[in-house]
Amino acid sequence: MATMIEAIRDALGVMMERDKRVVSFGEDAGYFGGVFRCTEGLQQRFGPHRSFDTPISESGIVGAAVGMATYGLRPVAEIQFADYMYPGYDQIVSEAARMRSRSAGEFTAPLVIRMPVGGGIRGGQTHSQSPEALFTHVAGLKTVIPSNPVDAKGLLIASIEDPDPVIFLEPKRLYNGPFDGHHDRPIQPWTGHPMGDLPEGHYSTPLGQANIWRPGADITVLAYGTLVHVAEAAANESGVDAEIIDLRTLLPIDTEAITASIRKTGRCVIAHEATRTSGFGAELSAQVQERCFDYLEAPITRVTGFDTPYPVGLEWVYFPGPDRLVKALKEVMSY
């Protein structure tokens, strides 16, 4: 089974081979192949005019991508860490997200911005943030976060082919394999993965469609990225027949899949690594409350990161691990 790094690299290679408009660039993303090596070999394969390095300027990277996309290219820009995207946030919100509407459809911005997100690599406060809620609040953007290599490839291909800007978030803890949730080590390799082996060639995973990662009847767990695997570990340890919904796309969100599951189980736990207040889990909770109120048998519960700056040296206390999720599952079931 390929790693997520290999799946992302494969998706980029497939699309650059199929469509000469697709270009890949970012800080150290050309010759070196990126700090996580997701773009390794692309410059040698496609040349420095299609896979290239940029100055250390996130505003410049995103601004260049918007210009390229507006004039017909399909740029895939890499922000080295999601923590670095703030200088480019104005370009993302004010230009990329609004290009279609502000020009009455005369111009569009079909670009993808790739960003590694989350902790787990001892990166400290400036290499470990999970800012997905800052993008899901912006109309005109789509926000994607895969939990496994098969989806990473299919979702990235779909994002590149999409006619509008897509924020593609890549959980760093999953780059080389899923974690067991308790320790800072991956389970190597992706053996026994429910998604199967990585398909060759071109395929796409539609944006806006969640995946039932683990069927269950007693409780619904809504998760994405790394927390899908943490939720699976918690479900196995708790003995609760939990149905785990891997959202895959945060915006647009698959409200039909969420609603169908919670109307079946009557209970809901939401899990994400980002801080709790104003996190994406709050939007999920509101969606569930509005659509499933008459079916709920217990309060909606969120298990998240703490409302504190990222704690250097204490990240494995900060993370919502299986122990916290097991406690939440049991509390909701006993309500």
Interatomic CA distance for residues 162 and 112, integer angstroms: 9
Interatomic CA distance for residues 48 and 291, integer angstroms: 50
**Residues contacting 317, CB < 8 A, separation 6+:** 311
Is-catalytic flag, 183?
no
What DSSP string runs through 172-200?
GGGSSS-B-SSSSSB-SS-TT-TT-SPPP
Strand order in the sheet with 249-251: 51-53, 22-26, 74-78, 112-117, 166-171, 142-144, 249-251
Catalytic pick from 127, 183, 193, 202? 127
Please provide the size of the chain in residues.
Answer: 335
Q: Quote the crossing angle between the two packed helices 255-265 and 280-292, to the nearest 10°.
A: 60
Q: What's at 261, amino acid-wise?
A: S
Element of type H or E holding 142: strand 142-144
Q: 252 preceded by cis ω (within 30°)? A: yes
Nearest to 143 by CA among 93, 72, 84, 88: 93
Q: Quote the crossing angle between the two packed helices 322-333 and 226-238, to the nearest 10°.
A: 60
Interatomic CA distance for residues 273 and 132, integer angstroms: 10
Catalytic positions are 127
